[in-house]
Amino acid sequence: MKRLETLLGISLVLCIILLFLTLGDFLSLHDIKQDYVSTDILADLQVKLSKELPEWTSTKAEWFVANISFYLKFILAIFVIITLSKSIKKLKSIGKEQSDQEHSLIK
């Protein structure tokens, strides 16, 4: 039973981390929406700039956060799936043990 509690606790912590990563995604993507200017698209549209765009318009930090968050969420989701599937198996085995004990008491 202690192992089951540990697995469920791990799943809960991972879900909380996933929630914070999702919030980070929202904040990063909101900044990208507000500030990002693609020099490639401007070049494709043949827009001539009088001077270079400021560095902040590339939103490198926001793209970095969004990319790292994606990979972390993918890995954490796999861990949550594994820990929850182990928890389900443990619950089934506990339920079977209890059923067997009750059945043996009736005999």
User: Does residue 43 belong to any structural domain of this protein?
Assistant: no
pLDDT at 107: 58
In total, how many domains does the chain have? Answer: 1
Residue 86, CA distances (Å) to 3, 25, 80, 91, 96 in order: 10, 29, 10, 9, 15
pLDDT at 93: 85
User: Does residue 68 belong to any structural domain of this protein?
Assistant: yes
The answer, yes or no, to whether residue 39 has pLDDT greater than 90, is no
Q: What CA–CA distance (Å, rounded) separates 15 from 79?
A: 10
User: Does residue 51 belong to any structural domain of this protein?
Assistant: no
Q: Looking at residues 17-46, what average pLDDT do you find? A: 84
User: Does residue 15 belong to any structural domain of this protein?
Assistant: yes
Q: What's the mean pLDDT when you consider all of the chain? A: 84
State the DSSP code for 1: -
For residues 11 and 84, is the Cβ–Cβ distance under 8 A? yes
User: Does residue 50 belong to any structural domain of this protein?
Assistant: no
pLDDT digits (tens, 9 = 90+) for 80-104: 888 888 888 888 888 777 777 766 6
User: Does residue 46 belong to any structural domain of this protein?
Assistant: no
Compare 79 and 37 and report the one with higher pLDDT: 79
Q: Which residues lie below 8 Å from residue 92, measured CB to CB, with a gap of 6+?
A: none
The answer, yes or no, to whether residue 105 has pLDDT greater than 70, is no
Q: Is 64 left (phi over 0), alpha (psi -120 to 50) or beta?
A: alpha
Domain with 77 in it: 2-29+59-106
pLDDT at 23: 93
User: Does residue 47 belong to any structural domain of this protein?
Assistant: no
